[in-house]
């Protein structure tokens, strides 16, 4: 069985003001391992980082079908296919401002 998925939600001003941010925060609040982080610099709508098995990947413009894919990934631990077009490949494995990470629950 895969290890639990850790969800990181960017709370930079561009992400906070973007459409779909509130529903993403609602999803994150229901996840045991969710945290908020400072701006990651890949803002094109709400940004979320997903860490699984030590592998951290960032996705931007998380709303609608992509938000549902994140929910499915958190719930089941599998299924990154729908998120692949939204991945910020240049930020793979990197976390800016790790000291400003805050747990949600």
Q: What is the pTM of this model?
A: 0.88
Task: Give residue 2's pLDDT band: very low, low, confident or very high (50, 70, 90).
Answer: low
pLDDT in tens, 64-102: 899 999 999 888 877 778 899 889 998 899 999 888 889
Residues of the chain with pLDDT > 90, as a percent, come to 49
Task: Give residue 57's pLDDT band: very low, low, confident or very high (50, 70, 90).
Answer: very high
CA triple 32-47-49, angle to 5 deg? 50
State how far the alpha carbon of 34 is from the alpha carbons of 37, 39, 71, in Å.
Answer: 10, 16, 12
pLDDT at 7: 93
């Amino acid at each position: 069985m895969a290890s639990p998925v850790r969800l990181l939600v960017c709370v930079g001003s561009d992400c906070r003001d973007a459409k779909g941010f509130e529903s993403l925060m609602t999803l994150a609040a229901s996840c045991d391992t969710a945290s908020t982080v400072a701006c990651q610099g890949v803002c094109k709508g709400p940004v979320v980082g997903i860490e699984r098995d030590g592998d951290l990947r960032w996705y931007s413009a998380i709303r609608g079908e992509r938000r549902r894919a994140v929910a499915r990934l958190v719930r089941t631990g599998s299924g990154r296919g729908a998120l692949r077009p939204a991945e910020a490949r240049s930020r793979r494995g990197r976390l800016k401002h790790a000291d400003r990470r805050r747990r949600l629950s």
